[in-house]
Amino acid sequence: MGEASTRLAVLGSPIGHSKSPAIHSAAYEVLGLDWSYERFDVPQGGLADFLASRGPGWRGFSVTMPLKHEARAFASTLAPAATEIGAVNTLVFDGADAGAPSRGWNTDVTGFVAALNEAGVDSAPRVRLLGAGGTAAAVIAALPSLAATELSIVVRSPERAQGMVALARSLGVEVEVLTFAEFDARPAKARAAELVVNTVPGDRDHIGIDASWVQGAVLFDVLYDPWPTKLATRWQAAGGQVVSGLELLLAQALVQVRLFTGRDESEVLPREAEVRSAMRTAALRVSE
């Protein structure tokens, strides 16, 4: 991309709360790269106009809600995960010119697995997925990497989960859809799993928790602000392990840094441990 491509940004709406500028800036400082990383509020339906109006010098964009599905249309090539779930959270330009084509990636998938591995979870044959939003699709796409064979999708409206069901089945995962009331009514043995992932937006008490089925299961709550969530607090009180959504944010951002610096998703950065530490410090500082 050349040294002229020194601008990066995160796009979405609302975007003022985003930790990405602090996290990415910390990474590039460690790497000795004098790059800028900004934020732009781009509403749903506004991505085409924004990209058309960009000038030269852009290296790429991080893309968050509600633009992940729109971003797919602007990538000349798509990484497998982005194709699989139909959503792009990273656009990397092939050159510094304003009209340079871009490649589309979804680092949520790799980041989700990396965050779990960091927490000591390498496999999860049984997974319970709460909610069916955009992050839920990334979770399902990651299931083969966790050797998952059984998935329960727990939602308020089962019809919203049909796309998730199709994706899970295409990956060879046995799947069922339940309402929250149906899931809560099941005995603890039937709810048991190695991994429970919460993707329901908002800090809500939307599921019953008791020690008999929390034991041995890890809760990955993709929320991180506010933290701890009500769900995470009750899960820990029942004796269960919790992984925060901040871990996903950091893990997927680290993969983006690799891509923005011209590497592959799995190619380790120079001084990567130091980069990761600086990103975490920056994220926690923003939370204070």
Question: Catalytic positions, please?
Answer: 68
Core vs surface per residue 144-161: b (16+ CB within 10 A) or e: ebbebebbbbbbeeeeeb
Radius of gyration of the chain (CA): 19
**Dihedral sign, Cα of residue 28, residue 29, residue 35, residue 40:** positive
Name the 3-class secondary structure at 151. Answer: strand
H or E element: which one contains 243?
Answer: strand 241-244
Residue with the two structure tokens 């950065």: 269
SS (H, E, C) 192-227: CCCEEEECCCCCCCCCCCCHHHHCCCEEEECCCCCC
Question: Strand pairing of 58-63 and 90-93?
Answer: antiparallel
Closest CA to 33 of 262, 187, 192: 262
**Dihedral sign, Cα of residue 44, residue 78, residue 33, residue 119:** positive
